[in-house]
Amino acid sequence: MPKLILVRHGQSEWNLANRFTGWWDVDLTEKGVAEAIAAGELMAEKGVLPTACFTSLQTRAIKTLNLALESAGRLWLPVTKDWRLNERHYGGLTGLNKQETRDKHGDEQVHIWRRSFDVPPPPMEPGSEYDPGADPRYEGIDVPYTESLKLTIERVLPYWESDILPVLASGETVIISAHGNSLRALVKHLSNISDEEITGLEIPTGQPIIYDFDDDMKPLGERYYLKGA
């Protein structure tokens, strides 16, 4: 039966520093590397081995995938990378310390920016310090200047339908190494979670989440963590 593995990247340098990251490219911490390796070891231990791989264009997700594949003995697999699996763009909040932002704008406003379904943060100024628009990996892409979770879903789900679901439907075991919000988009869709509830869903770093599918490509039961399987 088709099987989907979702993995949020291991702890990043800006996760540790409590900064809004979004589309800015940061590396994994030592803990993040260990989380990624452990995810691959768990897949090997449980016999849940991917045969097709998708990730974003961001280093933290790509490295998590590579480390997990290596520790699972699957580094030889081809990998498809696409910007539509990138993290949500945090706009003008990118690079800011989350606590300092709360001190400046108030807990309620920051909570709205972080957890509202359809209210994006203030847009990033074009050409500002953390603007990824000049990054060669995004050449030809209309890089956003801010995104809500709703806007993130609007780019993730069409890609899921057009590129990932057909691979899954062919019987492959697909792994997607991505980010908190791009994975929220998929979990919302697959688990039929409401707009209100999805904003409170936490996806832990480095913990493989599994969906099994039936012959009609509908999730067979609810998602589960591989460590508990």
Which amino acids are annotated catalytic? 9, 87
Measured in whole angstroms, the distance separating CA 4 from the mean position of its chain's CA atoms is: 14
**What are the φ/ψ torsions at residue 174 (nearest 5 degrees)?**
-100, 135
The two structure tokens encoding residue 115? 């957890």
Q: Say if residue 97 is exposed, middle or buried (CB neighbours under 10 Å; 0-12, 13-18, 19+).
A: middle
How far is the C-alpha of 156 from the C-alpha of 138, rounded, in Å? 16
- DSSP state, 213? B
**What are the φ/ψ torsions at residue 25 (nearest 5 degrees)?**
-95, 115
Element holding 55 (H helix, E strand): strand 52-55
